[in-house]
Amino acid sequence: MNYNNILFSVEGSVAVIKFNRPQALNAINPDVLKDVNAALDEIVKNPLVKVLVFTGEGDKAFVAGADIKHMVTLTPLQAREFGRVGQELLFRIEQFPMPVIACVNGFALGGGCEIAMSCDFIYASEKARFGQPEINLGVIPGFGGTQRLGRRVGNSMAKELCMTGAIIKADEAKNIGLINRVFPAETLWEETMRTANLIASKGKTALKGIKDCIDRGSDMDLINGCRMESDAFALIFTSPDQKEGMSAFLEKRTPEFKGDLY
C-alpha cells in the first residue's frame, strides 16, 4: 500500500512507521491518522512482525504537534471529532498486541508527545524536546495528554508542564520519568533497533502476556493484579513457545520461538 504521510517498512520482525511530513515538522492532521491506522492494519495481518517502532523523518522532529493550519478553522464539533479520532488511534497503539517503541529524534510536542506516551516506552536523541504547549495556543491537549502525562510523571509535574507550556530537553524528560533512555543523535536509531531486535527474538506469546499484565494490572489492587498474572502465566503453558524455551534451556541451546496463541 502507498502512503502519502508516513513511510512504512518491515525489517525482519520489526515494523517501522515513520512520520513523513518533514516540511511541516511531521505535524498531525486527519490524513496522517488515516495512514497510521492503515499501516497498523497491515502489521496485524503479518504474523512475522513482533515489534513496532515509531519515528519521524528528518533530523528535526518526531512529531511537532497537530497541524495548526488544519485546526484553526475547526468548529467545536469538528474539534471534538478530531480529538476523538486521535484518541482512538492512541488507544489502539497503547493496546496494540505487541511491544511498541517510540524513537524520538527531535521535537515531540503536543500530539507528538501524546503519541510517544501511547507507546510502551520511549528512546530519545539528546536533541529531542518534549512538551504539551497547547496552552500557548489558548487550548488544552486533545489526544490524551492531560491523562497520560500525569500517569507517567505525576499529576503535579503534569500540571506544571501543561499549564506553563514548557518544552523540556531529553535529559530532563528522563529525570522525571517521561522517557526511558537518551542517546547521542547519531546512535539513536542503532540503539533503538538493537533493543527492538532483542525483544523480537523473544516469544510473541510471552511478550503479549507481559504487556497485558503490566497494563491491566496498573488499574488493579496488588492481590487482583497478581491473580490476573497467575492466570496469564498458566495460559502461556499452552503455547509452543513455553515448551521450546524450557527445552532449549535444558539442552543449553538458543531457543527458536515460533508459537503464537493470538
Amino acid code (one letter) for 75: T
Concerning whether 114 is annotated as a catalytic residue, the answer is yes
Q: What is the CATH number of the domain that holds 209?
A: 1.10.12.10
Based on the domain organization, do 96 and 46 belong to the same domain?
yes
Asked whether 60 and 25 are in contact (CB, 8 A), the reply is yes
Based on the domain organization, do 12 and 47 belong to the same domain?
yes
Q: What range does the domain containing 50 cover?
A: 6-200
Q: How far apart are CA 46 and CA 35, in angstroms?
A: 17
Instruction: Indicate whether 1 belongs to any domain.
Output: no
Give the Cβ contact number of residue 1 at 10 Å.
8
Q: What is the CATH number of the domain that holds 103?
A: 3.90.226.10
Average pLDDT, the chain: 96
pLDDT above 70 coverage of the chain, percent:
98
Whether the pLDDT of residue 35 is over 70: the answer is yes
Based on the domain organization, do 196 and 212 belong to the same domain?
no
For residue 28, the 8-state DSSP code is B
Whether the pLDDT of residue 259 is over 90: the answer is no
Active-site entry in 57, 88, 114, 229: 114
Based on the domain organization, do 128 and 231 belong to the same domain?
no
Based on the domain organization, do 180 and 236 belong to the same domain?
no
How many domains, the chain? 2
List phi, psi (to 5°) of 193.
Answer: -70, -30
Give the Cβ contact number of residue 232 at 10 Å.
18
Based on the domain organization, do 176 and 208 belong to the same domain?
no
Asked whether 117 and 69 are in contact (CB, 8 A), the reply is no
Instruction: Indicate whether 62 belongs to any domain.
Output: yes
Based on the domain organization, do 130 and 209 belong to the same domain?
no
Instruction: Indicate whether 196 belongs to any domain.
Output: yes
* Average pLDDT score over residue span 159-188: 98
| Nearest alpha carbon to residue 179 among 249, 131, 247 | 131
* Average pLDDT score over residue span 40-57: 96
Based on the domain organization, do 38 and 153 belong to the same domain?
yes
pLDDT at 262: 44
Active-site entry in 42, 57, 126, 134: 134
Instruction: Indicate whether 65 belongs to any domain.
Output: yes
* Average pLDDT score over residue span 81-94: 97
* Average pLDDT score over residue span 231-251: 95
Based on the domain organization, do 69 and 152 belong to the same domain?
yes
Based on the domain organization, do 194 and 212 belong to the same domain?
no
Concerning whether 134 is annotated as a catalytic residue, the answer is yes
Based on the domain organization, do 25 and 140 belong to the same domain?
yes
* Average pLDDT score over residue span 3-32: 97
Based on the domain organization, do 85 and 139 belong to the same domain?
yes
pLDDT in tens, 116-170: 999 999 999 999 999 999 999 999 999 999 999 999 999 999 999 999 999 999 9
pLDDT in tens, 156-173: 999 999 999 999 999 999
Whether the pLDDT of residue 30 is over 80: the answer is yes
Whether the pLDDT of residue 261 is over 90: the answer is no
* Average pLDDT score over residue span 174-179: 98
